[in-house]
Amino acid sequence: MSYISRLELHKLRNISEMGIEPSPSINIIHGDNGSGKTTILEAIYLLGLGKSFRSSRLDTVVQWDQEEAVVFASLGSGTSLGLRKSKRLGHSLKINSIPQRGWLELARLLPLQLLDSGSFQLLEGSPRLRRRFLDWGVFHVEHDFISHWRGSAKCLAQRNLLLKQSRLAPSELQAWDLELSRHGEEVDRARRRYFEAFLPYFHHYLQALLPLPGLEMHYYRGWDESKSLLEALDEARERDRRYGASQVGPQRADIRFRMGRRDAAASLSRGQQKMLVSALKIAQGRFLSDEIGVKGIYLLDDLPAELDASARSLICTLLEEMGSQVFLSCIEPSQLDGSWPGQSIARKFHVEHGKIAASQ
C-alpha cells in the first residue's frame, strides 16, 4: 500500500516549518481560510507530480523572502522522497537520497487523486483534461505506455515544425508520419485496453453515488475509426499544412459523455456533474488497486464547500471501504460529522497561521 507515514514542509507558502505523522487511512486538516491547510495538500501534490494544482508558477510556492522550499515524505514501505524547489536553481528531486532526473518513478510510488474545485472541470473543460485523466490510469497499469506516449509527442512536435515551413519536404514529413503512426497506434491500443477494463468500474461507482440511466461514456481515439493513423495523416496532410499543425492523432483523443443525443455536461446539474467526476476518480483508484495492488492517495480540498452532506457521506464511505489514505481539508471538522462510518479512526490536524498541531 502507498501511504505517507511522515510529511515535512519547509518554507512553503505561509508554512515555515511543519512535520506530521498522518494516519494511513483518514486525515482531516482543518482551519480558517488562509491558514495553510490547502498548502499541505499542495505539498503532497507537488511531491507526486512536480506541479501545483493552485498555480502554474512554481516559484510562488516558495515563501516570498526565502530562496527555496523543501517537501519531504517517508512512505509506509520505508522509502523516502524529497523535493527541493529553488527560485534560482529550479528543483532537485530524490528517492532514498538518490537524485532523480524526472518524476516517472516517484509518480509510480505516490499515485495521487485530487478532488478540488478545479477537478470538476473534467466534464466541461477541454479534451486535454480528460486525456490527462485517461493517461494517468494507463501510465500506472501499462508500463510500456510512457515510451510510446513520449515517442508520439516527439514525432508530433517535429511534424508540426515541418508543417509550419514554407517549403515542405514531402519525404521528411512522410518519415515522421511513419514514426508518429507507429507510436500513436500503440498509445491508442493501450488507452483502449484501459478504457474498456475501466468502464465497468466507473458504472459501478456511478450507480453507488448517483444513478444516471442513459449516461454513456465513449473513448474517441483522435482519428477515424475506419482508418489507420498513417492513412488518416495522409488524408489530412493538406489541411494540416493550412493550419500549420496536425489535426488528427493521439493528441486529439477524448472521453465523451452523452445523455441520449446530448452532451452530458449540458444535461446534468452542477451537483450531478460533481458526483459523476467523483465516481470517475474513485473508480480509477479502485481499478489501480485491483490491477497492480497499489492503493492510491486521495487529496480532497474543501469537500464540504463542493458537495452537500449526503453526497459527502457517500463519497467518504466509498473511500473508507477502499482503504486508501485520504487527506481532507475543511474549515471545521464538525462539517464532516457523520460522513465517515469509522470517523473515530480519523486523525485530525488543526492549522492556524501556518502552524499545525494534532487536534481531537
Question: Are residues 115 and 299 in contact, defined by beta-carbon separation less than 8 angstroms?
Answer: yes
Q: With 80 as the cut, is the pLDDT of residue 360 above it?
A: no
Using one digit for the tens of pLDDT, what is the confidence trace for 115-149? 988 888 899 899 999 999 999 999 999 989 999 99
Look up the CATH superfamily of 1-111+294-360: P-loop containing nucleotide triphosphate hydrolases (3.40.50.300)
Q: What values do phi and psi take at 249, rounded to 5?
A: 135, 180
Using one digit for the tens of pLDDT, what is the confidence trace for 203-236? 999 999 998 988 999 999 999 999 999 999 999 9
82 alpha carbon, distance to own chain's centre: 20
Greater pLDDT, 180 or 269: 180
Q: Domain segments of the chain: what residues?
A: 1-111+294-360
Indicate the pTM of the whole model.
Answer: 0.93
CA distances for 42 relative to 28, 30, 62, 123, angstroms: 15, 15, 12, 23
SS3 state of residue 149: helix
The whole-angstrom separation of Cα 267 and Cα 272 is: 9
The full length of the chain comes to 360
Q: With 60 as the cut, is the pLDDT of residue 198 above it?
A: yes
The whole-angstrom separation of Cα 343 and Cα 332 is: 14
> Quick one: which of 103, 126, 93 has its CA closest to 255?
126
